[in-house]
């Protein structure tokens, strides 16, 4: 992979723009409920209609890879998620992930699926969105990424309407996603109710996991840094 020799000196020279680093419980994915340190990188080229992290669009603060690692270490938690914004919009993200893996962390990345994932260390646990039509960002889906998904990775659809749900079913079928990796179906918060999504899932008998954003039920849906 690119940056596979990220050493100590390089970790001081390479920097990324960071919005926030904090510890919380993982609210989504098959890791939901586990303590996790989140590194929220700044900036996103997309503008999903229902985006809940608009505050990450603007420029954050520059941190070297070793600075980020020091901040993560303070929390004493072995699970780390790189999120955003769109974390793969920054060129040094694969090197950051590689460095954290070398330090012994289990690393998750949450990506919009609009940037190539083939630069990532194969030990990375990838949670990749495929943007549904009502996000208004469907045209950014990079379907070639599906070739690089592993059985342990996860594809997430954020569902804002019945039209989105039907589109997700068609996409799952077209790309044989049930045979490739785990599938997450999430409600666009406030746009559809979990009970409604569950009834559609049962009716369709889709092999997917309901993905509630636990942090939005524990704290205020608008709370940052949780
Ligand atoms: S990809 Fe994520 S951060 Fe970017 S606009 Fe969509 S929801 Fe927001």
pLDDT of 114 above 70: yes
Tell me which residue of 18, 69, 70, 65 sits closest to 41, measured CA to CA: 18
Distance from C-alpha of 119 to C-alpha of 3, rounded to nearest angstrom: 9
User: Which atom of ligand 1 is closest in space to residue 112's alpha carbon?
Assistant: 1
Tell me which residue of 69, 51, 79 sits closest to 11, measured CA to CA: 69
Q: Give the distance (Å) from ligand 1 centre to CA of residue 70.
A: 27
Q: Is the CB of 53 under 6 A from ligand 1?
A: yes
Q: Give the distance (Å) from ligand 1 centre to CA of residue 160.
A: 14
Strands (E), 10-149: 15-25, 35-41, 61-64, 79-83, 106-111, 125-129
Q: Give the distance (Å) from ligand 1 centre to CA of residue 124.
A: 20
pLDDT digits (tens, 9 = 90+) for 147-171: 999 999 999 999 999 999 999 999 9
- DSSP character for 120? S
Q: Is the CB of 44 under 6 A from ligand 1?
A: yes
- Most informative mutation of 46, 54, 133, 224 for ligand 1 (most atoms within 8 A of CB): 46
20: three-class secondary structure by DSSP? strand
* Structural domains for the chain: 8-218 (3.20.20.70)
Task: Give me the numbers of helices (H) and strands (E) for the chain, helices first please.
Answer: 6, 9
pLDDT of 1 above 50: no
Distance from C-alpha of 223 to C-alpha of 45, rounded to nearest angstrom: 23
* Residues with Cβ within 8 Å of residue 215, at least 6 apart in sequence: 24, 25, 27, 223, 226
pLDDT of 187 above 80: yes
Q: Predicted confidence band at 76 (pLDDT cuts at 50, 70, 90)?
A: very high
Distance from C-alpha of 219 to C-alpha of 203, rounded to nearest angstrom: 31
pLDDT of 120 above 70: yes
Q: Give the distance (Å) from ligand 1 centre to CA of residue 51.
A: 5
State pTM to two decimals.
0.93
Helix (H) or strand (E) holding 182: strand 182-187
Q: Is the CB of 48 under 6 A from ligand 1?
A: yes
Question: How much is the pLDDT for 54?
Answer: 95
């Amino acid at each position: 992979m690119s940056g596979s020799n990220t050493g100590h000196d390089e970790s001081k020279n390479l920097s990324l723009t960071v919005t926030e680093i904090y510890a919380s419980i993982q609210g989504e994915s098959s890791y939901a409920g586990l303590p996790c340190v989140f590194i929220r990188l700044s900036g996103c080229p997309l503008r999903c209609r229902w985006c809940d992290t608009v505050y990450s669009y603007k420029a954050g603060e520059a941190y070297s890879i070793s600075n980020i690692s020091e901040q993560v270490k303070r929390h004493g938690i072995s699970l780390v998620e790189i999120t955003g914004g769109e974390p793969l919009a920054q060129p040094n993200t694969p090197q950051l992930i590689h460095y954290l893996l070398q330090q012994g962390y289990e690393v998750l990345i949450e990506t919009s699926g609009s940037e190539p994932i083939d630069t990532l260390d194969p030990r990375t646990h990838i949670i990749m969105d495929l943007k549904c039509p009502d996000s208004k960002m469907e045209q950014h889906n990079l379907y070639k990424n599906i070739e690089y998904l592993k059985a342990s990775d996860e594809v997430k659809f954020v569902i804002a309407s019945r039209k989105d749900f039907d589109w997700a079913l068609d996409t799952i079928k077209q790309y044989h996603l049930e045979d490739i990796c785990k599938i997450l179906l999430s409600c666009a918060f406030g746009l559809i109710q979990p009970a409604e999504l569950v009834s559609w899932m049962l009716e369709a008998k889709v092999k997917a996991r309901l993905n509630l954003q636990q942090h939005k039920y524990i704290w205020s849906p608008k709370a940052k840094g949780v």
